[in-house]
């Protein structure tokens, strides 16, 4: 829990510093300083596995996707090359197309990997599966389609930044990014967390940030060029602040239970239940890009074993010690909420 809180805080720190740097607040500071929180974030989640929105792995299919293994090294390589390019100050040491190679490679690997996973899960010649089983395999296909549009948007953005596509407008890029996000959010909402409303809610601030950014870059309307970068980043910063607060809450919740040997009061349980219900909406709804625990670890093996068993998940957000101490009326409320 402490590592999770630190990771969210580092990501918030990087986004804040980046917005201030682009707004001209820290003009004299080196770009290397601003990327330090991002690299510390990678170090904090080094034991976790990068993943894209996708369904839970089937019981007979436990292979780790290729893009999960190569994602972090390629992202770090892109960040290092980008930092070197930005430090060039008008005379870059690297070509911008070379800088984007790791990012494009990651998108291509993810695209091919998801198409391959979708094909591997489909029935062979002469085999038949139910409509429900086909439905469970569709998310890999939609993620691959999402990556097609994301790859196209990244390539077009690179050409525009290099001056090879001057006539291409920023709104054209926004359309490609938007279509890619629509498919990704479709997987999040329809398959990953169909019962949660956090996904649709979180789409709004992300789209607002992108629209404001396109307005500033395109200069339409004319006053849009003067929109502060901090205002553009503010919706994303708000989401990250909520994520940090939730991570800190989880840390202190576990700390209190640990210090009190699992014995907590009825009032604390009631307040904790309401806060968890509020924050869980954001946590489950924000599964656009996540870091999940490596399947080789004991925690992930236990999680896979739990999710593959048929049963109730009413108290999955509470530790066993807290469930034992819950009063009957709180237990009834939780069970009723699960069946509702």
State how far the alpha carbon of 94 is from the alpha carbons of 36, 83, 98, 100, 120, in Å: 21, 10, 7, 11, 40
Confidence (pTM): 0.72
Total structural domains within the chain: 1
Compute CA distances 291 → 43, 72, 105, whole Å.
Answer: 12, 10, 19
198-224 pLDDT, tens digit per residue, is: 556 677 888 899 999 999 998 888 888
User: For residue range 152-188, what is the model confidence (pLDDT) as tens digits?
Assistant: 999 999 999 988 888 888 998 899 988 888 887 777 6
Decide if 312 is inside a domain.
Answer: no
Distance from C-alpha of 172 to C-alpha of 170, rounded to nearest angstrom:
5
pLDDT band for 332, please (50, 70, 90 cuts): low
Q: Tell me the pLDDT tens digit for each residue of 25-55.
A: 888 888 999 999 999 998 887 766 555 544 4
User: Which tens digits make up the pLDDT trace of 225-251?
Assistant: 889 999 999 999 998 888 888 888 878
Q: Which DSSP helix (H) or strand (E) runs through 330?
A: helix 328-339
Q: Is 282 within the bounds of a domain?
A: no
Tell me 83's DSSP state. H
Neighbours of 167 (CB within 10 A): 6
Q: pLDDT band at residue 308, thresholds of 50, 70 and 90?
A: very low
Mean pLDDT over each residue of the chain, to the nearest integer = 75
319 part of a folded domain: no
| Distance from C-alpha of 263 to C-alpha of 340, rounded to nearest angstrom | 29
pLDDT above 70 covers what percent of the chain?
63
Who's near 306: CB < 8 A, 6+ residues apart? none
Rounded to whole angstroms, the Cα distance separating 153 from 168 reads 11
Q: Which domain holds residue 106?
A: 2-248
Distance (Å, whole) CA 120 – CA 140: 11
- Examine residue 198 and state whether it is found in any structural domain, yes or no: yes
CA distance 319 to 257: 9
Domain assignment of residue 86, yes or no: yes
Asked if 161 contacts 173 with a C-beta cutoff of 8 angstroms, the reply is no
Is 309 a residue whose pLDDT tops 90?
no
The answer to whether residue 72 sits within a structural domain is: yes
Closest CA to 201 of 226, 174, 172, 238: 238
Q: Could you give the CA distance from residue 58 to residue 136 in angstroms, rounded to a whole number?
A: 9
Q: What is the pLDDT of residue 40?
A: 92
What would the pLDDT profile of 77-97 be if each residue is shown by its tens digit? 999 999 999 888 767 678 889
Beta bridge partners of 48: 293
Separation of alpha carbons 62 and 65, rounded Å: 9
**Is residue 161 assigned to a domain?**
yes
Residue 98 lies in a domain: yes
Residue 272 sits at φ, ψ, to 5 deg, of -60, -40
Cβ-contact 333, 324 below 8 angstroms: no
Task: Please give the pLDDT value at position 292.
Answer: 38
Residues whose CB falls within 8 Å of the CB of residue 270, separated by 6 or more in sequence, listed in order = 330
């Amino acid at each position: 829990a402490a590592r999770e809180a630190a990771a969210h805080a580092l990501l918030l720190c990087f986004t804040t510093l980046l917005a201030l740097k682009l707004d001209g607040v820290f003009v004299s500071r080196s770009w290397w300083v601003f990327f330090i929180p991002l690299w510390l974030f990678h170090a904090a989640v080094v034991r976790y596995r990068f993943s894209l929105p996708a369904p839970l792995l089937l019981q007979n299919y436990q292979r780790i996707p290729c893009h999960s293994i190569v994602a972090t090294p390629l992202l770090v390589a892109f960040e290092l090359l980008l930092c070197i390019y930005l430090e060039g100050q008008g005379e870059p040491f690297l070509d911008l197309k070379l800088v984007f190679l790791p990012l494009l490679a990651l998108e291509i690997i993810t695209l091919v990997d998801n198409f391959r996973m979708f094909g591997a899960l489909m029935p062979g010649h002469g085999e038949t599966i139910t409509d429900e089983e086909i439905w469970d395999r569709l998310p890999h296909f939609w993620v691959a389609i999402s990556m097609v549009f994301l790859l196209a948007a990244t390539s077009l953005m690179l050409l525009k930044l290099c001056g090879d596509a001057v006539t291409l407008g920023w709104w054209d890029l926004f359309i490609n990014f938007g279509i890619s996000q629509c498919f990704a959010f479709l997987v999040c909402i329809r398959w990953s967390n169909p019962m949660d409303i956090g996904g649709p809610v979180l789409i709004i601030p992300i789209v607002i940030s992108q629209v404001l950014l396109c307005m500033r870059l395109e200069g339409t309307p004319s006053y849009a060029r003067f929109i502060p970068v901090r205002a553009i980043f503010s919706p994303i910063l708000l989401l990250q602040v909520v994520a940090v607060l939730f991570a800190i809450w989880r840390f202190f919740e576990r700390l209190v239970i640990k210090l009190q040997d699992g014995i907590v009061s009825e009032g604390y349980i009631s307040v904790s239940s309401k806060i968890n219900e509020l924050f869980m909406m954001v946590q489950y709804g924000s599964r656009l890009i996540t870091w999940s625990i490596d399947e080789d670890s004991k925690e992930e093996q236990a999680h896979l074993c739990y999710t593959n068993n048929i049963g109730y998940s009413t108290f999955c957000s509470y530790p066993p010690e807290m469930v034992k101490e819950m009063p009957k009326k709180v237990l009834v409320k939780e069970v009723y909420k699960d069946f509702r």
